[in-house]
Amino acid sequence: MVVIEDGGKQKIISKDKPFLLDYKKNADKEVKIKVLIDDGIFAPQEVLVDVLEQKFRGEKIIIQKKNRRKGYERKKGFTPVYTMVRFKGVGNGK
């Protein structure tokens, strides 16, 4: 188990299990990501992950505003784009 940081968020990942990262523009086959904790030990390193799918679209997120008894209602939404990756191993970042 490894704790990584991506886009200001921390995630717990394990080996051979796909997970979503924020969209990485130039990710072809491998991506390096900052590691915070590796097996309970604080060890700043980098993680090598295999890119499975570059532009994975998540579920639509709805943003709704409303003021009661004023007739004010606004509804907007967007679909976030992620990069789907699989954990490969811990490297020294070089």
End-to-end CA distance of the chain: 21
Tell me the sheet residues that pair with 50.
Answer: 30, 86
User: CA-CA distance, 36 to 21, in Å (whole number)?
Assistant: 16
Percent of the chain with pLDDT over 70: 96
**94 has pLDDT over 50:** no
pLDDT, tens only, 4-31: 888 888 988 888 889 999 888 887 787 8
> Which residue matches tokens 């090598």?
48
